[in-house]
A and B are shown apart, each in its own frame.
Chain A
């Protein structure tokens, strides 16, 4: 079953085609890697799927809802973790969880039980009343991910979730992603780390606003006769005409 269906989705800023007629599907419970060099249009595409940005043209269905008609329904069914760290530094862990639970309409008792399990899973039981500011980056990122999953969304969008995080924490992070996927949550993730791309079920590579390659990591390596996704990426990205944003 497809939870994301994208058909010729485009976003133009004046003459600049940030996203140029991309089409793909993501199936239920899949970990979908969304790769591309800086400025290739990944974030713009992702923002459109989250309802943060309106497409210039093209069709898309997210969680079975139309991007144009049912934006509100989509919002209820997705989680989002942005590039920037997005918890409140001046609130403690419990207050952050309570706030995000609150704006997703969870009840007080739901928030209470969820907070308890989340702190237990993250081994942060003792730190619950500490300000988020005082936590190390790795913990912050794991916490953000858990908060994005708080309302049990069908799909979770992760925009470079592991930027600047140490290898051990990255591995732990991916364990969390796999757990989410096993429970049936679809994970849509952008990353710059090519070893992480190998963990994905399927990968797409964007170059200059278009999707140039799409398939399982194994398929892509065979197709481009490369030894790793990193090599595939370099072969494709070399053709890019656009530079950084």
Chain B
């Protein structure tokens, strides 16, 4: 046990001496939370739109006013038809709303007036969102109009956005950032720290000593495990207090699951260190083999359900996918253990499997 503590102390000294890396390790989650929270977002806000108002009557002006009042749109100016084509080509506007002549009159007398929405669909998701927003606002106006009931029978759709009524993107990316950060800190840093000793030749000296290889591996993991725990805490604190993402489920359960994922990823780091002979190789494998799949297959950037079946099958071996699902369910939906026990079991299985393989690999390497 004493040997082990000597080793752990040495690992902390390495970390402490390399303060630049230490700073990056602690700073990374904070910076990522801020980047995703305030800079990178797929929410549509303040989109520039143009209005062609050939009616210029009471109804059209009221709708324009409501469009302007919403936070989604930023009305460039009311322009002519010729200017419209150019504005789209130059990318100055994303959406145009066209009111025909005698808009109000038709609305009042024939009960059938139309408004044209023209959207730049080079980015289909944005176009869709904008058209939906604009339609909703126009529909709203129609409902509000006093004494105006176009049909005797109407089906009203009432929407409720469960778990995330304000449709905040941060509800989605906080679990994703957590998976990414843990992946980088645990897998990459652990593998690099072991491979560095191989490169420097100090690993040989350690293997000649009476120190048991298993203890060497565990001692290597301890500092990064603690570092990850600190990162988990800082991400959770930032999301609750800065991004207003609540922790709806049990905090104990959430933290336990995070630590389970940390162990799984540490095991991956060990495995990488046993197959790579230089720090560069270890870094490349961690980035290409772990980080990229985490981003692609965890479901946090791209929905896995929409991928081809082959990719969906592949996504099952990415631990981050299960972790992402667990965190979302516990943190955002506030569900209990009974809803995530299967995913937890999968992570536990992966962890045990990876640990066993890397311990085996580590031993054969020295014989």
Contact = CB atoms under 8 A, between A and B. Distances in A.
The interface centre, meaning the residue of A76, A83, A90, A103 with most chain B CB atoms within 10 A of its CB, is: A103
Contact of A86 (B13, B17, B205): B205
Contact of A75 (B18, B204, B208): B208
A88 interface: yes
B367 interface: yes
Contacts of B205: 80, 82, 86, 100
Nearest to B14: A90
Contacts, number: 76
10 contacts: A53-B367, A80-B204, A80-B205, A88-B10, A90-B13, A90-B17, A90-B18, A99-B6, A101-B6, A105-B210
A42 interface: no
Nearest to B197: A88
Contacts of B201: 82-86
A87 B208 CA distance: 14
B14 A103 contact: no
Interface of A: 50-54, 72, 75-76, 78, 80, 82-91, 95, 98-105, 131
A44 B66 CA distance: 82
Nearest to B7: A103
Contact of B204 (A54, A86, A99): A86
Interface in B6-28: 6-7, 9-10, 13-14, 17-18
B211 A52 contact: no
Nearest to B10: A99
Q: Main secondary structure on chain A at its contact with chain B?
A: loop
B366 interface: yes
B117 to A, nearest CB: 63
Contacts of A82: 201, 204-205
B3 interface: yes
Contacts of A89: 200
A205 B210 CA distance: 30
Contacts of A91: 10, 13-14, 17
Contacts of B13: 90-91, 95
B283 to A, nearest CB: 19
B317 interface: no
A105 B3 contact: yes
Nearest to A81: B205
B116 interface: no
Nearest to A131: B17
Contact of B210 (A85, A88, A98, A104): A104
B202 interface: yes
Contacts of A53: 367
Contact of A51 (B3, B10, B200, B208): B208
Contact of B6 (A84, A86, A98): A98
B209 interface: yes
A102 B3 contact: yes
Q: Which 10 A-B pairs have the closest CB atoms?
A: A102-B6, A84-B201, A80-B208, A90-B17, A54-B367, A103-B211, A75-B210, A99-B10, A86-B205, A86-B201
